[in-house]
Structure 1
Amino acid sequence: MAGTTPKARALGAELRRAREEADLGLRQLAAQLGTSHATVSRWENGLRSPKPEDVAAYLAKVDAPAELRAELVELARDPDGSHWLSVGMPDQHRQLAALLEIEREATSITTVSPLLVPGLLQTADYARAIMIGAEVPHDEVDMRVAVRLGRREAIVRNNAAKLRAFIGESVLYQLIGGADVMADQLRMLLKYSEMTNVDLRVIPMRSGWHPGLEGPFSLDQFEDRTPVVQLENRISALFLHEPDEVAAYQHAVDRVDEEAMNPSDSSELISSAISRMETAK
């Protein structure tokens, strides 16, 4: 569906940010472009994909840097394509912007994370320990941690999204950041599990095969837009939104659900992991 893709959302978010930095109102810019404010609003909200020439004109009016103009005009060349694969910067920054927009608008978020606490549920110290271990440039760590914590808004805002989080049991026994950091992270998981809009489930190590063993993924659903799947690894990320691709991951969630423990047993296992960690200090 045109204008509802992750790339269209990312493009719209970047355009809106550029306009706000230029201190231009929506109607003011629309008048300068000779179009309606409704059209510009749809561009910025990802509901309609502007043509590359529209993007160039928009960015010229807000006096955006030449480098940004080139990047966004290129992004506008195929905003409704079936896949969006990013490898390296700045495309990964664009995808992060899209992810924030997607989670902000989602009514339901499902995350399957067999090896790490999902990003939406990470504490600052846990996230920082991961980034330091992954050798993220030192001057970017604080900013990235802040962005990751900002994602939490999706499940604590008014009309919060419903979150289903499936976490591999081995995650509970890791020592990312040390015992204290890990214990605090597990306590935070228990707090999240008590929220009415959060369904936190542990996938036991003695489970049978399930799609989560193929790697982490998230599925975001909306009231009036096409669902989106996000896949991510160390150097790249991929968004999917075609119906057959989304259906495959919806089925994958069902398979993971069959192997996961129920919420009560999951919380009990997390509590047990905290106790063992505290005893071992």
Structure 2
Amino acid sequence: MPPRRVITGRSQEPRRRYAEEIRLLRTQRGDSLRKLGEALGWDPSLFSKIESGETIGGPEVAEALDQYYGTPGLLLALWELAVSDTTQFREKYRRYMALEAEAVSLWHYAVCALPGLLQTEGYARELLAVGGLDGEELARQVDARIGRSDLLTGDNAPRFRTIISETVLRTPLRDAAEWHKQLEHLVSMSERKNVAVHVLPQSVGLNALTNIDTMFLRGADGRTVAWVETGYSGELVQDATDVEKLQLRYDLVRDLALSPDESRKFVIQMLEESPCDPST
């Protein structure tokens, strides 16, 4: 087995560490990308993309590399860490992801889609697919999003409140069975002590947050920041005055929403009306 190198601060980032380890093993053996591709039966461009960090490939690639280099389990373990690494998200989201993981409480308003923390795999897959993702990238992003939902169910889970526009609940998935699962999951999560779900009826009309999804995150130090997102971009709001203005808008919307108990009944009624078999 090739000698292991000291892990530097740079290589502690899982995706980068995975790419560096594969490049190191290849160069130590003296393989070209072409030779590696021929030996394992994949196009050499795949390994070029892995080494540049553009992709991490699938687990079968990591397993094949482990067998080829005589490093049983090493690269597969690094691949698994890379899959759950928040650096797979675009740079502008990384700070938000770190704040989300550290928050002691979160409150959210959903104007166009269910919050990621409450999405099922089927919902996340269809939502990301219509946004243009496919193939391995789609699979990785779905895995990452579903992995984030553990935040609400683990030990010392933060308090989470979401206000969901009725429009979101009136926009089902193409797969009726998956939509049924999503509604069931929403009801189940709303029963958790640390989760509060409000439905904002369409009948209230326009509101102070009509055009933006908004997430507030409060850290252990008591500081609150906000993340506002449209269908095209997101922005982290940290200025205290701007956050306070957004909070005022949120409070105005919350005053118009159904209570958690009323909201749960609303979703249960939708669930009862929603066929779980596409043929019905």
For residue 231 of structure 1, what is the aligned residue in structure 2? 228
Shift in alpha-carbon separation, 1:122–1:224, aligned structure 2, 3 A: same
| 1:12-64 deviation digits (Å, cap 9, x = unpaired) | x9885279939xxxxxxxxxxxxxxxxxxxxxxxxxxxxxxxxxxxxxxxxxx
Q: Secondary structure of 2:13's partner? A: helix
Alignment of 1:17 with 2:22, yes or no, is: no
For 1:159, the equivalent position in structure 2 comes to 156
Hey, which bits of structure 1, 4+ residues long, moved more than 6 A? 65-68
The equivalent of 2:96 in structure 1 is 99
Cα distance, 1:145–1:14 mapped onto 2, change above 3 Å: farther
Counting only pairs closer than 5 Å after superposition, residues 1-281 of structure 1 correspond to structure 2 as: 16-17=12-13, 21=17, 93-224=90-221, 226-278=223-275, 281=280
Sort the Cα spacing of 1:14 and 1:204 in 2 relative to 1 into closer, same or farther, 3 A.
Answer: farther
1:103 CA drift (Å): 1.2
Higher RCO structure, 1 or 2 (CA under 8 Å, sep 6+): 1
RMSD: 2.8
Q: Does the residue aligned with 1:239 lie in a helix, a strand or coil?
A: strand
Moved more, 130-139 or 261-270: 130-139
Tell me how far 1:177 sits from its aligned partner: 3.4
Deviates more, 1:137-146 or 1:188-197: 137-146
Structure 1 distance, partners of 2:275, 2:128, is 24
Equivalent residue letter for 1:260 = A
Shift of 1:92: 6.0
Normalised by the length of structure 1, the TM-score is 0.66
Task: Sort the Cα spacing of 1:132 and 1:269 in 2 relative to 1 into closer, same or farther, 3 A.
Answer: same
Whole-Å Cα distance in 1 between the matches of residues 116 and 10 of structure 2? 23
Going from structure 1 to structure 2, the CA distance change for 1:207 and 1:94 (only over 3 Å counts) comes to same
User: Following TM superposition, by how much is the alpha carbon of 1:226 offset from its aligned partner in structure 2, in angstroms?
Assistant: 2.9
Q: How many residues align?
A: 206
- Structure 1 residues 247 and 19: CA distance shift in structure 2, 3 A: same
Counterpart code for 1:17 = E
Deviation at 1:66, TM superposition (A): 9.7
CA 1:175–1:247 in 2, change beyond 3 Å: closer, same or farther? same
Alpha-carbon spacing, 1:164–1:15, altered in 2? closer, same or farther (3 Å): farther
d(CA) in 2 for partners of 1:258, 1:129? 32
Q: Could you tell me how far apart the structure 1 residues matched to 2:235 and 2:245 are?
A: 15
* CA deviation map 1:192-215 (0-9, x unaligned): 000000010000010143223122
1:262 is displaced (CA, Å) by 0.5
Instruction: Extract unaligned runs of 5+ from structure 1.
Output: 1-12, 23-64, 69-89
> What secondary structure does 1:257 align onto?
helix
State the Cα deviation string for residues 67-110 of structure 1 (Å, max 9, x = none): 99xxxxxxxxxxxxxxxxxxxxx996123332221111001111
Secondary structure class of the residue paired with 1:131 = helix
| Residue 151 of structure 1: how far off its partner (Å) | 1.5
Which secondary structure state, in structure 2, belongs to the residue aligned with residue 183 of structure 1?
A: helix
Q: Is the 8 A contact 1:125 1:181 kept in 2?
A: yes
Counterpart of 1:8 in structure 2 is none
Give me the TM-score of the superposition, normalised by structure 2: 0.67
**Rounded Cα–Cα distance in structure 2 between residues aligned with 1:106 and 1:130:** 25
Identity of aligned residues (%): 23
What secondary structure, in the 3-state scheme, does the structure 1 residue paired with 2:228 have? strand
Give the counterpart letter for 1:154 in structure 2. L
Tell me if structure 2 keeps the 8 A contact 1:103–1:151: no
Amino acid of the structure 1 residue aligned with 2:246: Y
Q: Which has the larger radius of gyration?
A: 2
